Structures are given as C-alpha cells and as structure tokens.
Amino acid sequence: TGKEKWPRGDETVWKAAIRGVDTDVPSITKSVVNHVQTSLARQAYNLDDLGAYQAAAMSVRDDLIVNWNETQQHHSRKSQKRAYYLSLEFLMGRTLDNALLNLGLKDKYATGMNQLGFNLEDILEQERDAALGNGGLGRLAACYLDSSASQELPVWGYGLRYKYGIFQQLISPDGGQLEAPDPWLEHDNPWELPRLDVIFDVRFYGHSERLGNGRAIWSGGQEVLAMAYDVMIPGYDTKSTNNLRLWESKPKRGFDLNSFNAGDYERAVESSNSAAAITSVLYPNDHTGFGKELRLKQQYFWTAASLADIMRRFKNLDKPITEFPDYVAIQLNDTHPTLAIPELMRMLVDEEEVPWDTAWQIVTNTFFFTNHTVLPEALEKWPVPLMTTLLPRHMQIIFDINLIFLQAVDKKFPGDREKLAKMSLIEEGFPQSVRMANLACIGSRRVNGVAELHSELVRTTILKDFVDFYGVSKFSNVTNGITPRRWLDQCNPSLSNLISETLKLPKAVFLKDLYKLDGLLEHIDDPTFQKKWAAIKQSNKERLAHHIETTLGFRINTHAMFDVQIKRLHEYKRQTLNIMGVIHRYLTLKDMTPQERTKVNPKVVFFAGKAAPGYYVAKLTIRLIVNVARIINIDPDTKDLLTLYFLPDYSVSLAEVLIPASDISQHISTAGTEASGTSNMKFCLNGGLLLGTVDGANIEIAEEVGESNVFFFGHLTPAVEDLRYQHTYHAVPIEEKCPALARVLDEVAAGRFGDGSVYEPLLNTIRQIDYYLLTEDFDSYIQALRMVDDAYKDRVEWIKKSIRTTAKMGKFSSDRAIQDYAQEYWNIESTKIE
C-alpha cells in the first residue's frame, strides 16, 4: 500500500540496494560468475558443464526469488482468496529451460553463457528431472501450476519432497525391467528454498478422548516435524511467480537421549529414522488403491502440514472463522489428500471450538474434488483398524460424518438399505474399510472428472448414488489441458518459430491464447508453408535419432514413419495390443515376396514407459517388446521396413524429444478406461496424428480436428460391459473369433522371440478372460493401422492433416482448464504484479 513504515535503517540505502531483475547480458554473466566463485566456490578455469548449469540455475533463481517475493507480498496485501492444489505428485521435469522461457531470458543467457565458453543447450542437459510423480496425474499438476502462474492466479501447490522420485528403469539382459533408486537430490537442488522457519508438528497414533460436547482431545503417540521447501513457479511473460510448497519429514528429536546415554545407539536413532522415512520415497504405483501404512502416513503428514499452514495464513487475515471458504479453496487431486476433510473438521471442532454443523458447512464450502479414474482397483480404501491405530481422532470424525450423512440419505430414500450400504463411508468386510472417494465426494462442494466421457462415467457409475442424492449440478467436467509453453515452445522451438512467423504474431500471443493457432488453417494449402512444416518434423525426427544414437547406440532410419506409444505400462492401456500388432506386421512382411515388400512404407515403432515394480503382467509386456525388437531389428528380410525400440527410463525430458518427432502416436485403451490421457494432446499440438480408441480426451480431440483427421478403431464404451459378460459366460475360442491374433500368440508361444513359456501368463490374459478386449478390437486395430499406412503415402494430405491438428488444439491448453477451475470452482481472481 506504500503506507507501511520502513522497518529499520535508511530507506534510500535499502531501496538502492534491493535487487531488481537485471536482464542485460553483462549483468547475467556477472551474476553467473559470481555464483561460480561464491556459491560453488569453484574456479572459472576448471568449470565443467555441470558447474556451469548450477551457476546459471542459481543466477536465474535469484531473479525468480525477487518476483516470487513480490507476488506473495502482493497477494497477502490484497488479502486475496487463494486456491491450494493438493497433489501427492508433481512431475515437474527440468526447470532451467522453462524458467528461462517464462522469464523471456533464454536468448540472453545463451549469449552470456556463450561468452563464458559454454553452450546453453549442453548446460540444460545437465539438469536432472524432478520426477516426483508417476505419470499423467502428476504431470497434470505440473501443467496446472504453470498455467496458474501464467494467468496471474493466486494458486499454491502443496506436495511432498520425496528424497527418491520415481525409480530409474533399467533393462536387464533378459529384456525385463529392473528398478534403481532415483537420488535426484544428490547434486543439490537449486530450485528449492528450505524454510527453516516454516515447521509444523504432525501427530500419529496416541489416543483420542471424547469430551462429550462433540469435541475431543487427541494426545500421545508419535510426533514428527514437517518442514517446508518452497519451489518457485514462474508464470510466462509475467512477473507473477507462485509457490509450490513441499514438505519434508524430520524427527522431532534428533535421537533419544536416554538410549544414547545408555549406549544403545541403534535405539537412539530409531525414531529419527522412522520420522525421516515418511517422505523418503514416492510410491511407484499408479491406478492402484492398494496402500501400506507408510502411504497412509504420507497422506496424513502432508495434509496435516498443508492445512496447518493454510490455517495460519488465514488467521493472519484476522477474519471470523466462518469466512474461511471466502479466502481458501482447496482442490483435492484425486482421493490421495482426502484426509484433509476430517483434518479440517478436527482443527475446527477440537481446536477452534466451532460447532460441528458450522464446521461441516465450512469444510464443504472449501474443498473441491477431482476424480482421475474409474478403474475399480484404483479406488482407495483404508482398513478401519489401521486408521484407528494411526489416526484415532480422524476415525471418530469419519464415523460421525458417516452417521449424520446416512441419516440424511435414509430421509431422502426411506428404507433403501442397499443405497445406504453403497453410499456409506464404511465398507463392510473383514476388516471394514474407509472408502476415500465417498468421503471426498460428500466433503466437497463440487466433484469433477477430467474429460467429457469420463465425467459422464463418474456420474453414471462410481458416484451414481451420490448424483441421485445431491442432484447432478454438483458433478461436472473439466477437460484436462497441457501447458503450451513446455509442450510446444520449449520442446519444439522450430515449430513455435514457424507458427509465429506464419501467423505474424509474437509467440507470447499464441502461447497465452492457444486458440490463435486456428489462424494456421488459412495457410494449410500453401506449399511453401507445407514444406517448412514437413522439414521441421523431419529435423525433430533427426534430433530424436541423434539422441538415441548417442545414448543407446542404435541408428534409426529417419525416413521411416515414426509410430510412438509412451505411457505407463498397464493392461488397460494395451501396449500388448500394439506389440501384437507389430508382430502381425512382421509376419505379414515375412510372408511377402521381395517385390511386394517394395510397396511397403518403412516404419519405426517406439515404446517407452515404466511398469509398477510389482505388476507382473506389465513387466512381462516390456520383456516381450524388448525381445521382439531383438529378433526383428536384425532380420535382413524386414529390417529396412520395420524396426522396434523400447526406450528405457521414460521421463518428462525424454517425452520432450519423442513427442515432436512422432508422425503417429497410439492411445489405444479399452473404451471407457482411460479417463483423459494428456500425451494425446501433446502429440497433436506438435503435429502428430492420433491412432486411438473412442476414449477419454481422444473423443474431444476428434471433435476439434474432425474425425477424418483421427484414426479411430475399436468397440465403444457402452459395448464393453456386454462383451465382458460374453467373455465370461459364452466364450468363443480365439481361433474362431480372431484368427489373426491367434496366429500371433501362437508364434510367441512357440518361441519365435525367445523362450515362449516365459510369456504364457501374459498370453493367458488374452486367451482366457481377455478383460481388456484385445480379441474384440484386434481386427479393427489392424485395419486402422492399414489406413494410417495408406494415408501416409499421400504426403501432402498427411501434412495438411498434421497442420490442421495443431491448428485445432486451442481447447487443450491448461490455461483454459485452469480458468475453468478458477471461475467455476474456486472463485479466485487474477492480479497483475507490477
């Protein structure tokens, strides 16, 4: 406001000394060298690329801190309502390149580093990915942070600072997946600021004593400390810089002094180790609700610390507690943070002495819940005995919420016992368990799915009874989005430049309003533009080939069509369908005469993705892919026409090289199983075409680009249930239903790609129940692949499809998605940081 008094000393001296963001090249080199000398304590003459990266990162960080401080002060001064995005995963990838782009300093740093004898591109490669996530859900959170900051919205992320991110994937000599830890913090992380002053106590175990007035006292047990690390999130083309706060667990006492004095050193450090373990590792499972005690501990630790922090910030505003929802909106990214609901109840009722009903009013106006999957195995359930031991007060609160809720249900649907049983927060069984999705649903103001079809499935399947109870308006859709800064400008700078030149618009215009890409359609028939477009795709294919040759030693034919499937290995995503399709293509090629083969388009198929370490069938699929590659890539009859690569250790950074190089990418989940998918959007934004099922966001992509620009195949969602029923009760032998697939399976079993018996369990998933319906979709899949081949032969048409696809991606910017959340759900406003 300018009215505050300068706290101490001479204001003019302070003001002259306060650092602004100095953006001229000499200031940049000065700051980098300064960090080399002081922060790194190294000499300029023996600096390597890693040191240069670290110094450049710290120099950029200085700028971010200035903006970040100003942004936070500004939001506080204006007492603005803020939104908090609680996510157990933030899959950030690398930061330096993104920060430079968002700050508009990339060229200047390139020049400055060049003057110091370094190549910026090489330096960028030194950074390790921050891989605090499994896949789509975690990367979505990262895109949403970028969009929030870019749109100048007061949004914070809250997550955990795992010491080890998602495991590194190695391929063993037999072709299987091996896991190694990801010690990503080994080289120090310049992008985080430890906040020694932001520390909270978090309690586990102990006992809860009811006081008779609705309140209780929870005491005893184990207390650990949550310490904050702040990660600055720069907006694009704005000063606005948001915060991602990650919690680290620490022991409350370094060690137990009594045991120490008694000489029992192991015992002395035991509790300290158990406290530190809470944030030691990211769980490498996705789409699974199966969790262990440590996972529940992580969830509570994180939600308790985050809520304590949010409450403290709210209290600084000096407003009545009933106004909490006017200043705070909390988005629950899937059910993982659902404990925030009973935790806020506990804080309000037990600590703030708010009456139960008022507290529930506050809670249900604060939270918003996003569901990310309808797969039954992913619905989180926690055993009541575990919850009672670990969080005795929360278990009481959940029972109380349930009692009141079920009374209301009974009133609305008198005597409908089945409904009560289905809607209860407690699932009967041995033991009983707490249904987290039900709790998230009733404790939130709104519930949303992540694509139109998915949101409809949420309404009509997993949360149907809740729709009947609350009415449909509580349940809506926000289709996912991706940030065009990283997924166009950063990963494909030449395409971004061409778009800018063609539209005659500065990049900042279309990178902030992606609908502007629509203007490309005017140029779609211009042969010069088409040539430039095709040349960029070609150079991206060469960039990928170069990357593969330098990292793995394979030489890739860049004149072939590049066909890419990159995502977590999961049966529902059907990498098996793809590999069976590859084998089918191989067998077909083998059956051809040399003359016939001359008419075939060469193709290179890429796979990448990790399997959950305990997911046997998924790991077997990787092994099959690798071993098929080993055979077909050296077959002299076919190797010029078909090769296959499994690229190990898929990551955000690898995606940034793969996606711009793709001609066609595969999104082939069984209809109704992939909630949205987000890489489909990334491929399309980079001019890659899509081969997919009528599922998730594929449908909305087709609505935008036109069905003739997408290669669709397979059964539709409504058919899936009936087909599964038939598979169970009226199974038709695979030889009859799908001879082409039967032949492929037989070849695998017969040992054409190494010991066939190894793959029996995988083949049986298809031969027996075939839950994911490969036998139903295989023929139409092969037909779709053929259509892709035919379409690719007409290069001009293909390029036009590619241009059209990019041009119609406006809807899929995460800026649009985050605006939906901000306006429809959180009710927060943008503010310019001057």
How far apart are the C-alpha atoms of 679 and 128, rounded to whole Å?
21
**Which region, judged by CB under 6 A, interacts with ligand GL7, from 25-33, 92-100, 544-552, 671-679?**
671-679
Per CB under 6 A, 481 contacts ligand GL7: no
What are φ and ψ of residue 144, in 5° steps?
Answer: -65, -35
3-class secondary structure, 193: strand
Q: Which is nearer to ligand GL7, 442 or 458 (CB)?
A: 458
Q: Which one of residues 402, 540, 678, 698 is an interface residue with ligand GL7 (CB under 6 A)?
A: 678
Q: Which is nearer to ligand GL7, 287 or 610 (CB)?
A: 287
- Report 415-454 residues binding ligand GL7 (CB under 6 A): 450
Q: How far is CA 411 from CA 325, 463, 627, in A?
A: 28, 19, 61
Q: How far is the CB of 678 from ligand GL7 (least distance, A)?
A: 5
How far apart are the C-alpha atoms of 233 and 190, rounded to whole Å?
13
175: left (phi over 0), alpha (psi -120 to 50) or beta: left
Residue with tokens 């806020």: 344
* Sheet order of strands, 381-383 included: 381-383, 433-435, 426-427
Q: How far is the CB of 713 from ligand GL7 (least distance, A)?
A: 19
Q: Which two tokens stand for residue 265?
A: 């050193």
How far apart are the C-alpha atoms of 598 and 161, rounded to whole Å?
55
Per CB under 6 A, 373 contacts ligand GL7: yes
Whether the Cβ atoms of residue 157 and residue 245 lie closer than 8 Å to each other: yes
The CA-CA-CA angle for residues 619, 622, 628, to 5°, reads 140
Q: How far is the CB of 378 from ligand GL7 (least distance, A)?
A: 6
Residue closest to 786 by CA, chosen among 594, 601, 646 = 601
Q: Which one of residues 51, 93, 112, 135 is an interface residue with ligand GL7 (CB under 6 A)?
A: 135
Per CB under 6 A, 378 contacts ligand GL7: yes
299: left (phi over 0), alpha (psi -120 to 50) or beta: alpha
- Beta bridge partners, 605, equal 563, 644
Per CB under 6 A, 286 contacts ligand GL7: yes
Which residues have a catalytic role annotated?
372, 567-568, 573, 678, 682
Q: Which is nearer to ligand GL7, 229 or 650 (CB)?
A: 650
Q: How far is the CB of 232 from ligand GL7 (least distance, A)?
A: 24
**Which region, judged by CB under 6 A, interacts with ligand GL7, from 428-436, 487-495, 524-532, 673-681?**
673-681
How far apart are the C-alpha atoms of 351 and 392, rounded to whole Å?
16
Q: Which one of residues 228, 556, 675, 702 is an interface residue with ligand GL7 (CB under 6 A)?
A: 675
Q: Which one of residues 190, 284, 581, 677 is an interface residue with ligand GL7 (CB under 6 A)?
A: 677
How far apart are the C-alpha atoms of 822 and 825, rounded to whole Å?
6
**Which region, judged by CB under 6 A, interacts with ligand GL7, from 135-143, 190-198, 206-214, 722-730?**
135-143
Per CB under 6 A, 801 contacts ligand GL7: no
Q: Which one of residues 674, 700, 747, 777 is an interface residue with ligand GL7 (CB under 6 A)?
A: 674
Q: How far apart are the first and last CA of the chain?
A: 13
**Which region, judged by CB under 6 A, interacts with ligand GL7, from 128-136, 219-227, 591-599, 626-634?**
128-136
Instruction: State which residue has the least CB distance to ligand GL7.
Output: 136
Q: How far is the CB of 613 from ligand GL7 (least distance, A)?
A: 15
Residue count of the chain, please give it.
Answer: 834
Number of residues that bind ligand GL7 (CB under 6 A): 18
Q: Which is nearer to ligand GL7, 325 or 481 (CB)?
A: 481
Per CB under 6 A, 337 contacts ligand GL7: no
For the chain, the maximum distance between any two Cα atoms, rounded to a whole number of angstroms, is: 89
Question: Which contiguous run of DSSP H or E holds residue 533?
Answer: helix 527-552
Strand segments (E) across 312-386: 328-333, 367-370, 381-383
Sign of CA dihedral 144, 825, 282, 200: positive
Q: Pattern 685-704, binding to ligand GL7, x per CB under 6 A?
A: -----------x--------
Per CB under 6 A, 88 contacts ligand GL7: no
**Which region, judged by CB under 6 A, interacts with ligand GL7, from 113-121, 153-161, 466-474, 668-676?**
668-676
Q: Which residues bind ligand GL7 (CB under 6 A)?
A: 134-137, 140, 286-287, 372-373, 378, 450, 480, 674-678, 696
